[in-house]
Amino acid sequence: MSKLNTSSSELDLDRPNIEDYLPSGSIQEPHGTLRLRDLLDISPTLTEAAGAIVDDSFTRCFKSNPPEPWNWNIYLFPLWCLGVVVRYGLLFPLRVLVLTIGWIIFLSCYFPVHFLLKGHDKLRKKLERGLVELICSFFVASWTGVVKYHGPRPSIRPKQIFVANHTSMIDFVVLEQMTAFAVIMQKHPGWVGLLQSTILESLGCIWFNRSESKDREIVARKLREHVHGADNNPLLVFPEGTCVNNHYTVMFKKGAFELGCTVCPIAIKYNKIFVDAFWNSRKQSFTTHLLQLMTSWAVVCDVWYLEPQNLKPGETPIEFAERVRDIISVRAGLKKVPWDGYLKYSRPSPKHRERKQQSFAESVLRRLEER
């Protein structure tokens, strides 16, 4: 099924054959001798273009669907107002307090541990892990996170990598609460970046830069080094590369799947009952997103730790990535779409258009020969 592309320097050769996914049922295989009518009839191509204008599966992945308003009548509206008062006036200050206490405890323990135990690495790392898990628990408590974990907890073993679907940066916090993972993340500006360069650095996190194409090779090397190291923290990767709205999954980047180690899938599904946890980075900053979470009733989600997978004999990394994406999507009830998440930031490669042109050209030439 998939046409194999082994060149590694191109960002967009990362995926199997999109033509197999795109709707082309309306285009019949033309047969018979070529007539003027056949060249003039561009209706299939026009229909595809108009179909994309009217609705397309890529934009759907990043649409945040606002919840149905339920406070529409005279009884429910005062109740809702009361709810707003409780959420903003009572819960929010309480949560900020909890978070502040958490930070005070964390910082007052972390820095002494980090500097005083410089010589005793094993003990220091263990304490740092515990402290990071602690601060993440405080974070989760600050949005009244109700997280249900299913499946065996991750263990610290070499040659394994964890992959999960991505909805928001809080995915990281939710998972980190249970296990101190090392993550591979986009370096962010602002206070998040500050956190990243101080605390997360000590966990062994790896940074990447989406906009640099050569970055991929550097990151791939760092990934390999980390995974093969014996007492590095287990590595967590979000192969989608971007936040998706928790109803769909976009294609997984193959980087995590060609390291020659076991891949442990994790599926995360948020319940939108109180708040939509999707971080639409085009619409709101992370701070706004966090504030929205902290002024809602609760963040409810399920985390499934799924069975570890290995590359099957004869399977390519891309097929392996798709197989794992399938496992995660089925478990979390998400639909799969054949697009690369990075198309949020860049245009698709001309190769897809060329493939369409090639198939049309070949059919014209073939019918010409049938005369």
Partner 1 sequence: MGNSSSMLTQYDIEEVQEHCSNTFSQQEIVSLYQRFCQLDRNGCGFISAEEFMTVPEFAVNPLSQRLFRMVDGLNFKEFVLFLSAFSSRASLQQKVEFIFKVYDSDGNGKVTFNEMLDILRDLTGQFISEQQREKVLTQVLEEAGYTKDSLLVQADFMKLLSYSSETILDVVNTVPVLDILILGNSVLKMEVEVPVD
Give the binding site for partner 1 (CB under 8 A): 22, 26, 28, 34-59, 63, 66, 282, 339, 343-344, 347-348, 352-354, 356-358, 360-362, 364-365, 368
Dihedral (Cα; 302, 186, 194, 120), 10-degree rounding? 80
Q: How far is the CB of 52 from partner 1 (least distance, A)?
A: 4
Q: How far is the CB of 346 from partner 1 (least distance, A)?
A: 10
Q: How far is the CB of 30 from partner 1 (least distance, A)?
A: 10
Query: How crowded is the C-beta side of 67, counted as CA atoms within 13 Å?
Result: 12
Asked if 294 contacts 142 with a C-beta cutoff of 8 angstroms, the reply is: yes
Q: Please enumerate in sequence order all residues whose Cβ is within 8 A of that of 194, keeping only pairs 6 or more positions apart, or say none.
A: none
Q: How far is the CB of 188 from partner 1 (least distance, A)?
A: 22
Phi and psi of 155, rounded to 5°? Answer: -110, 155
Sole residue written with tokens 């990394």: 317
Residue 132 to residues 126, 137, 162, 201, Cα–Cα distance (Å)? 10, 9, 18, 12
Query: How crowded is the C-beta side of 86, counted as CA atoms within 13 Å?
Result: 9
Compare residues 21 and 106 and give the one whose CB is closer to partner 1: 21
Compare residues 194 and 365 and give the one whose CB is closer to partner 1: 365
Q: How far is the CB of 201 from partner 1 (least distance, A)?
A: 34
Compare residues 40 and 74 and give the one whose CB is closer to partner 1: 40
Compare residues 238 and 339 and give the one whose CB is closer to partner 1: 339
Compare residues 26 and 213 and give the one whose CB is closer to partner 1: 26
Q: How far is the CB of 38 from partner 1 (least distance, A)?
A: 8
| Residue from 287, 243, 236, 245 nearest 263 by CA | 236
Give the total residue count for the chain: 371
Sole residue written with tokens 């639909």: 335
Compare residues 309 and 363 and give the one whose CB is closer to partner 1: 363
